[in-house]
Amino acid sequence: MGKITGYLEYPRVHEEYAPVKERVLNFKEFIKTLPRDKAEIQAARCMSCGTPFCTNACPLHNVDPDFSDAIYNKKWKEAYDILSSTNNFPEITGRICPALCEASCALAFNDEATGNKSIERSIIDHAWEDGYVVPEPSPVKTGKKVAVIGSGPSGLACAQQLARAGHDVTVFEKNDRIGGLMRLGIPDFKLSKALIDRRAEQMKQEGVTFVLNTFVGKEGDLPQGVHCDATRRIDPSEIMKDFDAVVLSGGSETPRDLKAPGRELKGVHFALEYLIPQNKEDSDGTASPINVKDKTVVVIGGGDTGSDCVGTALRQGAKFVHQIELFPEPPREQNKLLTWPDWPRILRTSSSHDEGTELGRLDRLYALNTKAFIGENGSLKKLRLCKIKLENGRPVDIPDTEFEMEADYAFLAMGFLHPTDLTLDGFGVAKDKRGNAAATYELDTGFRTSVDKVFAAGDMRRGQSLVVWAISEGRRCAREVDRYLMGDSCLPPF
Ligand SMILES: Cc1cc2nc3c(=O)[nH]c(=O)nc-3n(C[C@H](O)[C@H](O)[C@H](O)COP(=O)(O)OP(=O)(O)OC[C@H]3O[C@@H](n4cnc5c(N)ncnc54)[C@H](O)[C@@H]3O)c2cc1C
């Protein structure tokens, strides 16, 4: 523990945010990394409790008390070694993780949590600056070949671990750039894509090969709303022939649709049909076909994806954004006696929501069901909505409460159902009840699908989730693949 009385002496340190009026003028990151002196004070607040709930809550089991102690003692290289021993991409989780660790911090019980996420970001951003982050190629090659299908955080973490264990790893990606949802879903203002490029470079130097624009799966049409830049298809039988093991890490890409009348109108889109072209515009200047400047936008769905649509619409200059949610508004305050140290189900307010509120261009509405999209000349003009109440936990329409809301655009951000069948069926792997790749999670047999030598990790196995879970699954899966190929593994179990 750095400073025994630190948590009594110092209030929580907050990262600096660019002012709302400035930051909505562009798509650049607007949160500044904690400078070293502030990170050292933040770290001094860690109580190093006997039972580190933070480490337990983190899917990667980041050892927050240990790297905080190192930082407090100005041992930045040691802090980097501790952090990178559990997390392949801390610069990413340090920006976009919801920080499950902070919700379970013992200090959070009656004070503000230690800012673990900001410490994590500070350590890794300074480690890159200091030149500590270098390629770690394996000195020994096993001669085994592994194919990783999908280059999201689970595929990348898995590939990096396997390459460091000496295997010959090829990552196949159907889109024209690597990173999965980190690259094409999450906007630049939350995560600069230069960070993914820098990691890709490191991985190439560790021996990982990336094959882009290549879909691996059965022939057929992908569901509406699944983005695909592929210019060629490889049949799974070829991959099975050419590789000693295969990891399916293709994410949970099938979006939940809202099949109300008028769904086909111009202006009604899946969220990713809106976010992906904007991300591409930010990286290479290709103008997005959807621009909501001076338009009224309705975002249907209250999660991360919906919030990213809000931030994007505000930056494009939307006149007004309504974000509507089917379920009633969650409680604003956490009842810590009931929920701590678990992740509480409370109202979440993102930086995009703060922007909309400060600019007076956002409202968040709850307990509303969308009954119809109404158009004129084929384009969306209004939504017909209806209030709901919960009966036995299920939303039920309240009679005679229908009303109309003007809208030029509606973005459907209601989550993702399961992976694409063309990928899973192509390999013939069994699915679970929700349509994900069925693969166990136990240590020693984990991540194996019903087909020999085929493994699954990330959203493709667990359903839509978080980047931190994807990295964790990729790491764990790599260990199981290594054990399958070599009989044993030196890769860490977490
Ligand atoms: C808009 C949005 C915002 C989000 N914000 C956050 C956030 O702030 N914080 C957070 O923690 N999580 C967030 N998430 C969730 C997070 O991005 C995902 O949980 C995570 O990316 C899943 O990682 P993955 O590697 O399993 O899959 P993905 O990231 O989905 O990557 C899968 C990759 O596989 C490729 N692929 C699929 N099938 C094939 C195939 N057959 N052949 C070749 N390639 C294939 C896809 O093109 C894709 O690149 C967000 C999600 C969305 C949609």
Whether 386 and 425 share a structural domain: no
Tell me the CA–centroid distance for residue 272 and ligand 1, in Å: 11
Q: Ligand 1: which of 181, 219, 239 to mutate, most ligand atoms within 8 Å of CB? A: 181
Query: Model confidence over 330-386: pLDDT tens digits?
Result: 999 889 999 999 999 999 999 999 999 999 999 999 999 999 999 999 999 999 999
Mean pLDDT for back-to-back runs of 10 residues, the chain (494 residues): 89 97 98 97 93 95 96 97 98 98 94 96 98 97 98 98 98 98 98 98 98 98 96 98 98 97 98 98 96 98 95 98 96 90 93 98 97 98 98 95 98 97 98 96 84 98 97 97 96 88
Percent of the chain with pLDDT over 70: 100
Q: What are the φ and ψ backbone dihedral angles of 137, each rounded to 5 degrees?
A: -65, 150
Q: How far apart are CA 472 and CA 474, in angstroms?
A: 5
Q: Is 181 in the pocket of ligand 1 (CB under 6 A)?
A: yes
Residue 230 in domain: yes
The whole-number pLDDT of residue 445 equals: 74
Q: Ligand 1: which of 31, 177, 304, 462 to mutate, most ligand atoms within 8 Å of CB? A: 304
Tell me the CA–centroid distance for residue 134 and ligand 1, in Å: 26
Q: How many domains does the chain have?
A: 3
Residue 139 in domain: no
Whether 403 and 428 share a structural domain: no
- Looking at 375, 397, 414, which one is the last position of a domain? 414
CATH number for the domain that contains residue 113? 1.10.1060.10
Using the Cα atoms of residue 272, residue 350, residue 466 and residue 89 in order, give the sign of their dihedral: positive
- Looking at 386, 414, 442, which one is the last position of a domain? 414
Quickly list H helices, 10-75: 20-23, 36-44, 53-57, 64-72
Return the structure tokens found at 331: 């409680």
Q: How far apart are CA 418 and CA 225, in angstroms?
A: 13
Return the structure tokens found at 340: 């701590």
Tell me the CA–centroid distance for residue 356 and ligand 1, in Å: 26
Whether 287 and 404 share a structural domain: yes
Whether 222 and 276 share a structural domain: no
If one counts every other C-beta atom within 10 angstroms of the C-beta of residue 8, the result is: 10
- Looking at 96, 130, 164, which one is the last position of a domain? 130
Tell me the pTM. Answer: 0.97
Q: Is 172 in the pocket of ligand 1 (CB under 6 A)?
A: yes
Residue 262 in domain: no
Give the domain extent around 349.
268-414
Residue 494 in domain: no
SS3 278: helix
Residue 419 CB contacts under 8 Å (≥ 6 apart), including other chains: 248, 250, 251, 252, 253, 254, 435, 436, 437, 459, 460
Whether 124 and 231 share a structural domain: no
If one counts every other C-beta atom within 10 angstroms of the C-beta of residue 399, the result is: 8
The whole-number pLDDT of residue 440 equals: 85
CATH number for the domain that contains residue 285? 3.50.50.60
The whole-number pLDDT of residue 370 equals: 98
The whole-number pLDDT of residue 50 equals: 85
Whether 274 and 410 share a structural domain: yes
Whether 171 and 116 share a structural domain: no
Residue 493 in domain: no
Tell me the CA–centroid distance for residue 182 and ligand 1, in Å: 6
Using the Cα atoms of residue 342, residue 347, residue 353 and residue 354 in order, give the sign of their dihedral: negative
Whether 217 and 316 share a structural domain: no
Measured at the CA of 90, the angle between CA 85 and CA 95, to 5 degrees, comes to: 160
Contact assessment for residue 436 and residue 228, using Cβ atoms and an 8 Å cutoff: no
Return the structure tokens found at 15: 């990262």
- Minimal-distance CA residue to ligand 1 atom 1: 305
Return the structure tokens found at 264: 């086909």
Bridge partners (DSSP) of residue 396 are 389
Whether 126 and 171 share a structural domain: no
Tell me the CA–centroid distance for residue 353 and ligand 1, in Å: 23
